Structure 1
Amino acid sequence: MGILGWLYLFVRHPDDVRTLVQYKLWYEPKRDITNPAEWEATGYNRKDMKRCWEFLDMTSRSFASVIKELDGDLARATALFYLALRGLDTVEDDMTISDEIKQPLLRSFHEKLQTPDWCFGGSGPNEKDRQLLVEFNVVIAEIALVQPEVREVIVDITHKMENGMADYAHKAVMSPTGTYIDDIEEFDLYCHYVAGLVGEGLSRLFAATGKEKSYIANELVLSNSMGLLLQKVNILRDIREDIDDSRFFWPKSIWESHGFKHPAELRDLDKRQEAIWVLSAMTLDALRHSVDALDYLALLRNQSVFNFCAIPASMAMATLALCFMNPTVFDRNIKIRKAQAVNLIMKSTNPRDVAYMFRDYARELHAKLVPADPYFVKISIACGKIEQWCEQHYPSFIVLRTAQGGRSSVSDRATGDARMRAVERHEKLLAAKASERGEVPPAPRQADDDQNVPIEFFLYVGLGMAIVFGFCAGIIVLVTRYTN
């Protein structure tokens, strides 16, 4: 970001400047895969694996950094799993490959993973990940070196995914309109093939490498929901780009019920209100996976695994809130601000904070609702389920605070929650019974009214004053030096 970019950010979003500066100064990658001490786990000293890490950076700017920070050999296993599926997806997405060549290639791709020195140079010259397939032999060579349990997961998930991709690719070719997602059920199945299976495979990798308990590999419903949440939000956000590329993933049953004869009509300004209702339906469909995602995150115990799963989930909820009721979605691809993404990365460290972020974005989304929306009630219920989940697992009237000595204390009167009346009645009842027995009644718990100003406040104030005085002093020096 250049100086003009920072100035624009300072004027429009001054809080973002602080967030980005904090991230630059204090956030450090937890792992350096190039460190010789990590070579045994990351394989960076091998030529083929080093090239695989380079392909990971080339094909995934968003996931590459979090994959590298996974513990031990899980990072290498996940990187190879990602590259195998990226190669498969590249074949499926390449419209320059004829269906006669694509079908057998897709349906036998899991066999290619076990065929030494196999590579593919038939992708179109403009295919962005073409080079991965040209040098796919390095991925195959490294898959052969991982432990058998990991290799079995990679091959099995690829086998399941390839058949689903082949079916939908063939259907797209045979359809004259290119609209090949008919209803919600088919949409769920498509997203299962391209993302839900990824969630299943990752869960199995977490268990196979010993980073999570073995039961996580059997949480197929929750793993699938995690994948579907991320995939559906991406499909929702990328509607304009997909329409321009003649790829129509929004279910026909949704947009057709609002009077559209073709998905491209969603861009028409004259039908913008109806398009917003279609967007509401897609938002509702994505929201129904959010509680499952929270349940899945609550099962994770390894910190690096939790971060790996929680960061994209938090970003998905932020993106969903940004896109909802936003007609710009139909005009261009929109994304959350960089500072917001950085803030999510720094906060997505434990289930409670992530749950609160889900809750806050659900509230933001609910605040945008209008009674005229045909999905008003259903979206309200979906947001309420997120609120209910958070309240059940992390009640809002129980606040954790840090007491003197660094130990955590519970202050359940930190808010004016009405439920505290029940607590107070219970305390009075205990005091009355103690008095009847001739005992000293327990003192009622006091609210934690510690209002000490954090040291960071004084640091920020001091820094701001130093900048102001320094600026004024500079002006005085320049004026006195160059004038009479």
Structure 2
Amino acid sequence: MEFVKCLGHPEEFYNLLRFRMGGRRNFIPKMDQISLEFRNLAEKYQTVIDDICHRMGCGMAEFVDKDVTSKQDWDKYCHYVAGLVGIGLSRLFSASEFEDPIVGEDIECANSMGLFLQKTNIIRDYLEDQQEGRKFWPQEVWGRYIKKLEDFAKPENVDVAVQCLNELITNTLQHIPDVLTYLSRLRNQSVFNFCAIPQVMAIATLAACYNNQQVFKGVVKIRKGQAVTLMMDATNMPAVKAIIYQYIEEIYHRIPNSDPSSSKTKQVISKIRTQNLPNCQLISRSHYSPIYLSFIMLLAALSWQYLSTLSQVTEDYVQREH
């Protein structure tokens, strides 16, 4: 089924095929290796780990019986849940000398790494959270569109629901400059892969969710072939910049003029382009021409059809014989 979904995306089809045939070894071992290194470091830096865990626990306890009311609350909640993880990991990266001291010292950039991921998850998971009785969207934002957060799921409210969605995505995009600054400082390949892959997944998810009514009707996910392609490509800074450029351009070209946040969204994206992605172009990350990839896809589809037919004929023959 995942291969079928990729038929309109030749590069994704090819990369998914590579991944299934062993391409995952090119980057997953590096991530496993860094996990192993951190386990050897855990005892040495137990104080750092204990401090972060304590602060996370105390912070999240604040929201046990409290809704996320303001945008400041939203930032604070995401800080406790994910920002502190980014800060803690950054301190370990530096303390272990995998990375330069600045990585662990710049708390704002490390925090933004976590906030960008957590806000993306909260935005994407609106419907699931509502069904489970969880409310993580800030009332300061959704309260300007509707009286009850759960009412965004009603078909008659889809227009204002999407407007609120776009405003929250715009808020989340503002973390991208810090994300790019953080990633540009990383020198260790394993650390880079470990940090960059979730970030490019997040921007792809935001692009899929932007101005999309489906967020209020089901689960919006990026294609598996798309995810695999991102994992394989996000191994250096130029590629990461190209990926982010691609998805913010997708968002930019889908901004409705009637959307209340349209001017703010354009302003945020223009700032990212100018300050963080100067002269960045959407480079092709494929080494194969579209014609060649299309041929591979056709050959794979025909092979699959042949094997399916052969399997069915064999099964029918066996049944007749017995």
TM-score when scaled to structure 1?
0.57
Match of 1:215 in 2: 102
Structure 1 alignment gaps of length 5 or more: 33-64, 78-142, 173-179, 400-452, 476-484
1:8 deviates by 3.4
Q: Which residue of 2 is the match for residue 365 of structure 1?
A: 251
Distance 1:299 1:380 in 2: 27
Aligned match for 1:181, one of 52, 56, 68: 68
Counterparts in 2 of 1:462 and 1:204: CA distance versus 1, 3 Å:
closer
SS at structure 2 position matched to 1:168: coil
Q: Distance in 2 between matches of 1:307 and 1:462?
A: 28
The question of whether the paired residues in 1 share the 8 Å contact of 2:94 and 2:103 is answered with: yes
Q: Distance in 1 between matches of 2:224 and 2:20?
A: 13
Q: CA deviation at 1:16?
A: 3.4
Do the aligned residues in 2 keep the contact of 1:366 with 1:380 (CA within 8 Å)? yes
**CA contact 1:199–1:226 (8 Å) conserved in 2:** yes
Please give the alpha-carbon distance, in whole angstroms, between the structure 1 residues aligned to 2:201 and 2:301.
34
| Conserved? CA contact 2:200–2:244, under 8 Å | yes
Preserved contact between residue 120 and residue 202 of structure 2 (Cα < 8 Å):
yes
Out of 156, 161, 179, the residue aligned to residue 270 of structure 1 is 156
Secondary structure at the counterpart of residue 50 of structure 2: helix
Query: What's 1:18 paired with?
Result: 14
**Is 1:338–2:224 an aligned residue pair?**
yes
CA 1:73 to 1:243, structure 2 compared with 1: closer, same or farther past 3 Å?
same
Match runs of 1:146-295 below 5 Å: 146-147=43-44, 150-169=45-64, 171-172=65-66, 180-258=67-145, 260-295=146-181
Structure 1 residues 355 and 16, CA gap change in structure 2 (3 angstroms): closer
1:326 aligns with 2:212: yes
Distance in 1 between residues matched to 2:301 and 2:216, nearest whole Å: 43
* Contact 1:29/1:69 (8 A) holds in 2: no
C-alpha deviation, 1:186, in angstroms: 1.1
Q: In 2, distance between residues paired with 1:216 and 1:322?
A: 30
Q: After TM superposition, give the deviation of residue 271 of structure 1 in Å.
A: 1.1
Q: CA deviation at 1:75?
A: 5.7
User: Quick one: which amino acid aligns to residue 302 of structure 1?
Assistant: N
What is the deviation of 1:25? 3.1
Whole-Å Cα distance in 1 between the matches of residues 23 and 142 of structure 2? Answer: 44
The answer on whether the counterparts of 2:71 and 2:138 sit within 8 Å (CA) in structure 1 is: yes
Counterpart-to-counterpart distance in 1, 2:11 and 2:61:
47
The structure-2 alpha-carbon separation of the partners of 1:463 and 1:370, relative to structure 1 and needing over 3 Å to count, comes to closer
String of CA shifts for 1:15-67, please: whole Å, max 9, x gaps. 533221122335243589xxxxxxxxxxxxxxxxxxxxxxxxxxxxxxxx874
Local SS of the residue matching 1:156: helix
Q: What amino acid sits opposite 2:88 in the alignment? A: G
* Change in CA separation of 1:19 and 1:278 when aligned onto 2, cut-off 3 Å: same
The verdict on how the C-alpha distance between 1:337 and 1:7 changes in structure 2, with shifts beyond 3 A counting, is closer
TM-score scaled by length of structure 2: 0.84
CA distance in 1, matches of 2:288, 2:56: 52
- Report the CA distance shift for 1:286/1:75 in structure 2 as closer, same or farther (over 3 A): farther
Pairwise mapping of residues 109-120 of structure 1 onto structure 2 (< 5 A)? none
Q: 1:6 to 1:151 in 2, by over 3 A?
A: closer
| Counterpart Cα distance in 2 of 1:368 and 1:355 | 20
Alignment of 1:431-446 (within 5 A): none
Distance in 1, matches of 2:172 and 2:102, equals 26
- Alpha-carbon distance in structure 2 between the residues aligned to 1:391 and 1:192: 26
Whether the aligned pair in 2 keeps the contact of 1:277 and 1:373 (CA below 8 Å) is yes
Write the distance in 1 (CA, Å) between the matches of 2:293 and 2:263: 47
Deviation track 1:166-225 (CA, whole Å, cap 9, x = no partner) reads 1111x33xxxxxxx1111011111111111101100101111222111221101000000
Question: Does the alignment pair 1:350 with 2:236?
Answer: yes
The 4+ residue runs of structure 1 with deviation greater than 6 A are 453-460, 462-469
Tell me the CA shift for residue 395 of structure 1.
4.8
By relative contact order (CA 8 Å, sep 6+), the higher-ranking structure is 2
Cα distance in 2 for partners of 1:269, 1:464 equals 40
Listed as ranges, the matches of 1:21-60 within 5 Å are 21-25=17-21, 27-29=23-25
Aligned to 2:199: 313
Q: Distance in 1 between matches of 2:289 and 2:156?
A: 55
Q: Is the Cα contact below 8 Å between 1:30 and 1:69 reproduced in 2? A: no
| Alpha carbons 1:74, 1:206 under 8 Å: kept | no
Asked if the contact 1:359/1:390 (under 8 Å) is kept, the reply is: no
Match of 1:74 in 2: 38
Q: Distance in 2 between matches of 1:268 and 1:459?
A: 42
Verify the 8 A CA contact 1:324 1:365 in the aligned structure 2: yes
AA paired with 1:217? Answer: G
Kindly indicate whether the alpha-carbon contact (under 8 Å) linking 2:52 and 2:84 is maintained by their aligned counterparts in 1.
yes
The answer to whether 1:389 aligns with 2:270 is no
RMSD: 3.2
Structure with greater helix percent = 2
Which of 1 and 2 has greater Rg? 1
Report the alpha carbon displacement of residue 309 of structure 1 after superposing the two structures with TM. Answer: 0.6
